[in-house]
């Protein structure tokens, strides 16, 4: 598992057990796909395979760490791991609900609706400890309004969510969308967010920007711990100047991403001014979608402006709200490029 983060509690000489455990479940999954007429995975086979890898005399806390790491690195194998033993189910089941997606499919998508009902049937305490990612797609307004009041209250119990992405365009009316967003942001205020990908103007509405000063807005609970912010706004809004001022005052912000079409990149002085106003900023990522590649002259121009300015391609619209174990999201790539530039600058 090259590039994966090694949890500090697992000694390096035992990390190979994680790799072997994942390989075991992948092999069993492949075997079952090839077999016809068999509807269920053989629990005894899974139990024997796992037992042959994990010494039963291992300390329970170490065994748990190994299974949890395997679940993080190979999410698709979690349903198989749940069948090994009751203690493993207790450890691993929360990882099955680590990512909650709402409205990623069309409003009448039955599989997504069923999965959502399964998630929301869990207890508040379970969801509090399990859910870390909340991804709200273009149909999230519809789903939010149709799940019922009791289930909407479940969202408020997910106070350990640290990564959130919110689609800008929805398939609902403007009034309905505004009502849903109002409820949503009252929930987000109670989440200790570290990474956020959304339109900043959806959070800082024109009314709020006109009513409050930038220092007050930057102190909102939703921004208190935020370190990574992917701002979808393209800078054409009449409120963007005020939004920009708020961005420069966010207390914990170290990583900022803006669309290449953002007005900030129209003139170099705007970029320099933004970077000068964010001394804690480690990287400023200039993003393009996969259909539009940067030219070599663009890359050279960005480096000349500031060593922290990195032009990159994103793969998924919610990528800015993710934390990748294998170092493959654009935040990780940006950090690597900035580190390389700094190393070269010292030669």
pLDDT digits 0-9 by tens, 88-125: 888 889 999 999 988 887 656 667 777 888 888 899 99
Q: What is the spatial order of strands in the sheet that 228-231 belongs to?
A: 99-102, 133-136, 163-166, 195-198, 228-231, 255-259, 283-288, 309-313
- Give dist(CA 74, CA 11) in Å, integer: 20
Phi and psi dihedrals of 288, rounded to 5? -130, 155
**CA 176-180-185 angle, 5° bins:** 150
- Tell me the average pLDDT of the chain: 79
**What is the percentage of the chain residues whose pLDDT exceeds 70?**
73
Query: Span 61-82, mean pLDDT?
Result: 80
- Apex CA 10: angle with CA 7 and CA 14, to 5°? 130
Report the distance separating Cα 165 and Cα 276, nearest Å.
27
**Burial group, residue 198, by CB count within 10 angstroms (0-12, 13-18, 19+):** buried
Instruction: Say what percent of the chain tops pLDDT 90.
Output: 26
Cα dihedral: 284, 288, 289, 294 (round 10): -130
As beta bridge partners, residue 255 has 228, 283
Q: Which of 225, 240, 230 is nearest to 314 (CA)?
A: 230
Average pLDDT over residues 43-71: 67
Region label for 205, one of left (φ > 0), alpha (ψ between -120 and 50) or beta (otherwise): beta
Model confidence band, residue 73 (pLDDT cutoffs 50, 70, 90): confident
Q: Could you report how far apart the first and last alpha carbons of the chain are, in Å?
A: 32
| C-alpha distances out from residue 55 to 66, 91, 143, 153, 164, Å | 12, 18, 46, 43, 39
Backbone angles phi, psi at 102, to 5 degrees: -130, 120
Query: Which pLDDT score, from 0 to 100, does residue 266 have?
Result: 65
pLDDT of res. 255: 98
């Amino acid at each position: 598992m090259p590039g994966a983060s090694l949890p500090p509690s697992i000694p390096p000489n035992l990390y190979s057990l994680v790799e072997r455990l994942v390989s075991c479940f992948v092999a069993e999954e492949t075997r079952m796909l090839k077999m016809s007429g068999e509807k269920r995975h053989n629990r005894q086979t899974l139990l024997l395979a796992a037992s042959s890898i994990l010494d039963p005399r291992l300390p329970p806390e170490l065994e748990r760490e190994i299974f949890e790491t395997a679940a993080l690195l190979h999410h698709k194998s979690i349903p198989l791991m749940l069948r090994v033993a009751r203690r493993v189910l207790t450890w691993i089941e929360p990882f099955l609900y680590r990512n909650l997606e709402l409205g990623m499919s069309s409003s009448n998508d039955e599989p997504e609706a069923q999965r959502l009902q399964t998630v929301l049937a869990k207890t508040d305490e379970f969801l509090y400890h399990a859910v870390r990612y909340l991804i709200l797609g273009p149909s999230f307004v519809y789903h939010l309004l149709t799940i019922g009041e009791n289930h909407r209250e479940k969202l408020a119990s997910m106070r350990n969510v640290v990564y959130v992405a919110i689609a800008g365009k929805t398939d609902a009316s403007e009034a309905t969308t505004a009502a849903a967003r109002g409820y949503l942001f009252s929930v987000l205020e109670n989440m200790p967010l570290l990474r956020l990908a959304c339109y900043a103007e959806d959070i800082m509405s024109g009314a709020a920007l006109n009513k409050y000063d930038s220092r007050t807005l930057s102190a909102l609970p939703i921004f208190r711990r935020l370190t990574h912010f992917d701002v979808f706004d393209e800078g054409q809004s009449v409120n963007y100047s005020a939004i920009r001022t708020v961005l420069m005052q966010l207390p914990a912000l170290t990583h900022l991403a803006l669309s290449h079409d953002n007005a900030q990149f129209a003139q170099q002085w705007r970029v320099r001014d933004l970077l000068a106003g964010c001394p804690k900023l480690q990287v400023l990522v200039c993003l393009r979608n996969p259909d539009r590649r940067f030219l070599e002259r663009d890359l050279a121009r960005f480096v000349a402006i500031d060593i922290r300015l990195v032009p990159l391609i994103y793969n998924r619209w919610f990528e800015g709200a993710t934390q990748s174990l294998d170092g493959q999201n654009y935040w990780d790539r940006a950090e690597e490029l900035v580190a390389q530039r700094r190393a070269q600058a010292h030669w």
